[in-house]
Each structure stands twice: as C-alpha cells, then as structure tokens.
Amino acid sequence: MNTMIGNIMSFPVMKKIVTQTTRIVAFFNNSHYWGGQLNDKAKKQNICRKLKQNCESRFYALILHCLSVLDYRSPLSLICVRPEAQKKTNNLTPVAPDVITTILYDPLYWKRLEQIVLTVKFLVDAIGNLGSRQASFADCMLELLRCAHEMSQLAFDPNEHDLGFWLHAKLVFNRRFHGINSEIHSLALFIHPMCRELAITQVANGRSSKFMPSLSP
C-alpha cells in the first residue's frame, strides 16, 4: 500500500502541493525565532503535534506531513499576518515571502492539501493497522477490501476538489487492487472462518466455492 500511495501522489498538481508543504515545514522548523513563535501559538490552541518532516521513501509519512500543516493552519495564518513577519523590523528576518503567499493568499493550496488527506489517509490507516501486528494474507485482504469501500465512497466536489486527481487516484487504486487481489489472497480469506463468504462473493474478483479448494496444496 505504501507503493500505491506513491503512485497516487505522482499526480503533478499534488506534487506541487507537497513541495509547498515541505517548504512551509522546512522554514518554520529551521527558524529558531519563527518556529518558537509558531509553537507558542499552537499550544494556545491546544495543538499538541509538531510539524512533521516529509520522508520521500515512506509515503505514509507524507500524509502525516500534510496533516500536521492542516492542523497548524490557524497558527500559521496568525503568524504570517503580523507586520514583522512580512517586513524586516529591528533586524528581525521576516517569514519568507513564498511561505506567506502560500499560507495567506493561495486558497487552492489548502483545498488541494485537504483533498490529498481525504484521498489517501485511509490507506495510511491500513498500513498502521497491518504494521501493529503480525498480519496474515487474510488481514491484508480485509484491509484492502475496507480501502476499496472507502475509495468507492470518495465523492467529488467540484467546488473543492481537483477532478484530474480524483480520477487518477481511483484509477491507480483499481489497477493496484486487481494486481494484489490474487488467488492466494482469496484462498486466505476462504479458509478464514470469519471471511469465507467474502472470498466467494467479492465483486471485483469473485471465485466459486468449488474453485477455492483446488488452490489448496
């Protein structure tokens, strides 16, 4: 699923959003003064998490990265509207102009950031669920089926969402789903006492009850 997230996030519009997000986090994490001011604002709003760095090799970290900036939207805005944040005052270096532009004057940035989280967070949750224990093939398929349900319910809002990314995410998921949904995984569901019916009736790749025993050695 980590690879699936990476494929979904290869969409050019969203790659730009990630670049802007990384820029915001890098600026405030690398600025002793402005980072401290931001943390103070966050604490007053009972925001406990810190801004999370991105990790290009672990795409689930990308969503934590995006979520942290969404949580900080209010304190980030309160910092950036301050006069000394926009213009050098008393030898204090202001907030970088491109960071201010993204935070205060780019409403599409925030809409696209929210769409990224809405589209991919349930995949990140699945990674977490499977990583918290020794997962079997049946566990993997159950999480995959749950994600398929979530993806099928993902509605498009023309006022908030990028249509190209919405279609891209569904296409990538469906392609990867059929690639993962193998006979071995269906057999794992079939022999699981709580999941046998799922293995027989799943719409995407249903297999008959007569066929299932033939897969067993």
Residues near 166 by beta carbon (within 8 Å), at least 6 away in sequence? 115, 119, 154, 156
The pair of three-digit structure tokens given for residue 194, joined into one six-digit string: 């709580």
The pair of three-digit structure tokens given for residue 5, joined into one six-digit string: 């997230």
Contact present, 65 and 52 (Cβ < 8 Å): yes
Q: What is the pLDDT of residue 6?
A: 87
**Beta-bridge partners for 92:** 89
What residue type is assigned to position 178 of the chain? H
What residue type is assigned to position 66 of the chain? C
The pair of three-digit structure tokens given for residue 7, joined into one six-digit string: 């494929």
- The whole model's pTM is what? 0.81
Q: What is the pLDDT of residue 41?
A: 95
What residue type is assigned to position 12 of the chain? P
What residue type is assigned to position 181 of the chain? N
10-residue stretch averages of pLDDT, the chain, 217 residues long: 86 96 96 95 92 73 90 96 94 95 97 96 86 69 84 93 96 85 63 55 47 45
